[in-house]
């Protein structure tokens, strides 16, 4: 018996949901209002998932996706949804999870906004992972959310592999020589960084071929990967050009390096920075989980005295360089958030990893800090931190959502917490 019907909800992770025969069916790439018939149903992580479906009636929320790889590529689950509907659904999911009604600000650009892409280089193809299939790869022709230049980057890589005979990675056997091509673009500077992640040291000949095929790069890296994990990380070695590229966000410049995280949507980043700034009070600010100093340096430029704490020493080095090139009053130190004495700051900004604050939440409760600005890409972790800990000392005074991730169900939340009387 074929299962089908009208999708009437969206799950917290952005899948269409319909009720059929008293059971829920989750349908990736389907939206509220669609009528579908499932072709292939599997149980995954305790829920029924339609891996393929026939679209019988289009939801009025639908639009024609721009990308030819939509529906198989794991990058964009919501490209078939009109942008207004994407924003409404993000707001709804955030409210359902946290109980907070927040305004949402859309991304100023919907195409070409991502400043980084990690193309996996495999024996099955070069591109991005298939949705829901860790061993499947979409052999990419273009990527409209990343860059118009994607075909050029991929052509250079294919030419390089053909000339050198280096073997692409085999996901099943976990063997091969070239694993990822990472490309980063400074959207406001036009600078390009190319970083090849490989399991072998390059010979002199290979390096010459590498430089030849990627001569357009302002910064060219070869990263040696010693482990077999499937991620785009290795020991980065500069091959040619500059060690960093720059991104410019209004009056602030940020350095970008292969080993450091940078917010992925350059066009929406000013909205995020201004939301944080709007909620920041007083003079002295602590940027906790500071990364490369994205918030701290922006706030320093606006006259705040900034201290920052981050556990990754390389990110701290970058943050201090970012402070220096922008001439701002900000000092970043290596440390764990949960081991930081909070001191007499007027505002603490926290932007923890997906798992949330954990022990650091109690430090904030015990501190005398009046204002906490919580930046979160995981509303469930924020909810837990707030309900279990922060609520003892802080009330929620405001929140704004910034859409850093168009065509996906993700959103960045900035929540203003004020100490209770
Ligand atoms: C979501 S990123 C935020 C980075 C930065 N705010 C930005 O916008 O670029 C989280 C950062 O927290 C750091 N981190 C993770 N656990 C930490 C801990 N226990 N103490 C301090 N920093 C931590 C990570 O290295 C990472 O740089």
What confidence tens digit (pLDDT) does each residue in 145-192 have?
999 999 999 999 999 999 999 999 999 999 999 999 999 999 999 999
Nearest to 290 by CA among 299, 279, 303, 302: 299
Q: Compute the mean pLDDT over every residue in the chain, rounded to the nearest whole number.
A: 96
CA of residue 374 to ligand 1 center, whole Å: 13
pLDDT over threshold 70, residue 11: yes
| Tokens at 295, concatenated | 């918030």
Residue 415 has a CB neighbour count (10 Å cut-off) of 26
Q: Is the CB of 286 under 6 A from ligand 1?
A: no
Q: Which stretches of 149-234 are assigned E, i.e. beta strand? A: 178-185, 192-198, 219-224
Q: Which residues are bridge partners to 54 per DSSP?
A: 37
Any idea where the domains of the chain sit in the sequence? 1-61, 116-248, 268-419
Q: Is the CB of 291 under 6 A from ligand 1?
A: yes
Tell me yes or no: is domain 268-419 CATH 3.30.70.270.
no
CA of residue 39 to ligand 1 center, whole Å: 42
pLDDT tens per residue across span 117-131: 999 999 999 999 999
Q: Give the C-alpha separation, 69 to 71, whole Å.
A: 6
Q: What is the predicted pLDDT for the residue at 44?
A: 87
pLDDT over threshold 90, residue 276: yes
Instruction: Find all residues with CB under 8 Å of 278, minimum gap 6, and list them.
Output: 400
**Span 18-33, average pLDDT:** 93
pLDDT tens per residue across span 359-378: 899 999 999 899 999 999 99
Q: Are 291 and 315 in contact (CB under 8 A)?
A: yes
CA of residue 104 to ligand 1 center, whole Å: 24
CA dihedral sign, ordered 12, 358, 372, 347: negative
- Candidate of 270, 297, 299, 310 to mutate for ligand 1, largest count of ligand atoms within 8 Å of Cβ: 310
What is the maximal distance between C-alpha atoms in the chain?
69
pLDDT tens per residue across span 181-214: 999 999 999 999 999 999 999 999 999 999 999 9
Active site residues: 377
Which residue lies with its CA nearest to atom 27 of ligand 1? 291
List b or e across 211-250, with b for residues whose CB sees 16 or more CB atoms inside 10 angstroms.
eebbeebbbbbbbebeeeeeebbbebeebbbeebbbbebe
pLDDT over threshold 70, residue 1: no
- Beta strand 245-249 with 252-256 is antiparallel
Q: Is the CB of 322 under 6 A from ligand 1?
A: no
Q: Give the C-alpha separation, 155 to 139, whole Å.
A: 12
pLDDT tens per residue across span 44-92: 888 999 999 999 999 999 999 999 999 999 999 999 999 999 999 999 9
What 3-state DSSP class applies to 36? strand
Question: What are the CA-CA distances from residue 272 to residues 93, 265, 267, 269, 291 (Å)?
Answer: 19, 10, 10, 5, 15
pTM of the model: 0.96
What 3-state DSSP class applies to 127? strand
Question: Which residue has tokens 């008293």?
Answer: 22
Question: What are the CA-CA distances from residue 292 to residues 219, 289, 300 (Å)?
Answer: 19, 9, 13
Q: Is the CB of 311 under 6 A from ligand 1?
A: yes
CATH class of 1-61: mainly beta
Q: What is the predicted pLDDT for the residue at 23?
A: 87
Q: Are 374 and 384 in contact (CB under 8 A)?
A: no
CA of residue 23 to ligand 1 center, whole Å: 40
Q: Are 272 and 414 in contact (CB under 8 A)?
A: yes
Q: What number does the ligand 1 atom closest to the CA of 339 have?
A: 20
Instruction: Find all residues with CB under 8 Å of 155, minimum gap 6, and list them.
Output: none
CA of residue 19 to ligand 1 center, whole Å: 40
pLDDT tens per residue across span 251-261: 999 999 998 89
* Percent share of the chain, pLDDT over 90: 94
Which residue lies with its CA nearest to atom 12 of ligand 1? 289
Q: Is the CB of 358 under 6 A from ligand 1?
A: no
pLDDT band with cut points at 50, 70 and 90 for residue 102: very high
Q: Do domains 1-61 and 116-248 have the same CATH topology?
A: yes
* Percent share of the chain, pLDDT over 70: 100
Q: Is the CB of 310 under 6 A from ligand 1?
A: yes
CA of residue 322 to ligand 1 center, whole Å: 16
Q: What number does the ligand 1 atom closest to the CA of 292 have?
A: 9
More confident residue, 2 or 77: 77
Q: Are 121 and 169 in contact (CB under 8 A)?
A: yes
Which residue lies with its CA nearest to atom 2 of ligand 1? 353
Q: What number does the ligand 1 atom closest to the CA of 360 have?
A: 19
CATH number given to 116-248: 2.40.50.1070
- Candidate of 257, 259, 289 to mutate for ligand 1, largest count of ligand atoms within 8 Å of Cβ: 289
Q: Which helix (H) or strand (E) holds 239?
A: strand 235-241
Q: Are 299 and 275 in contact (CB under 8 A)?
A: no
**Span 239-268, average pLDDT:** 96
């Amino acid at each position: 018996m074929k299962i089908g019907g009208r999708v009437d909800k969206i799950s917290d992770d952005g899948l269409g949901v319909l009720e059929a025969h008293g059971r829920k069916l989750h349908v990736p790439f389907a939206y509220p209002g669609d009528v579908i018939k499932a072709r292939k149903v599997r149980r995954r992580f305790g829920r029924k998932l339609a891996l393929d479906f026939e679209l019988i009636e289009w939801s009025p929320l639908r639009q024609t996706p721009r990308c030819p790889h939509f529906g198989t590529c794991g990058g964009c689950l919501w490209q078939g949804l009109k942008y207004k509907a994407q924003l409404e659904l993000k707001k709804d999911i955030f409210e359902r999870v946290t109980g907070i009604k927040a305004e949402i600000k859309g991304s100023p650009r919907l195409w070409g906004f991502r400043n980084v892409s990690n193309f996996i280089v495999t024996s099955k193809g070069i591109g991005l992972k298939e949705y829901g299939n860790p061993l499947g790869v979409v052999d990419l022709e273009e990527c409209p959310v990343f860059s118009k230049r994607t075909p050029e980057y991929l052509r250079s890589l294919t030419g390089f592999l053909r000339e050198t005979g280096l073997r692409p990675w085999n996901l099943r056997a976990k063997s091969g020589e070239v694993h990822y091509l990472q490309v980063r673009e400074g959207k406001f500077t036009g600078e390009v960084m190319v970083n090849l992640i490989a399991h072998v040291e390059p010979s002199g000949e290979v390096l010459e071929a590498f430089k030849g095929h990627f001569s357009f790069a302002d910064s060219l890296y070869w990263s040696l990967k010693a482990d077999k994990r499937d991620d785009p990380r290795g020991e980065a070695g500069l091959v040619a050009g500059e060690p960093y590229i720059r991104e410019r966000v209004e009056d602030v410049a940020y350095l970008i390096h292969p080993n450091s995280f940078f917010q992925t949507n350059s066009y929406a980043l000013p909205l995020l920075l201004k939301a944080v700034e709007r909620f920041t009070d007083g003079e002295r600010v602590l940027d906790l989980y500071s990364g490369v100093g994205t918030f701290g340096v922006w706030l320093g430029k606006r006259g705040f005295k900034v201290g920052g704490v981050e556990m990754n020493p390389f990110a701290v080095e970058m943050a201090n360089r970012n402070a220096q090139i922008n001439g701002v009053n900000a000092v970043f130190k290596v440390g764990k958030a949960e081991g930081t004495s909070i001191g007499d700051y007027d505002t603490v900004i926290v932007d923890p990893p997906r798992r949330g604050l954990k022990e650091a939440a109690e430090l904030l409760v015990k501190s005398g800090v009046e204002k906490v600005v919580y930046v979160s890409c995981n509303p469930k972790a924020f909810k837990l931190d707030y309900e279990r800990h922060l609520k003892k000392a802080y009330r929620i005074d405001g929140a704004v959502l910034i859409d850093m991730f168009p065509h996906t169900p993700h959103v960045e939340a900035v929540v203003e917490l004020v100490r209770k009387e």
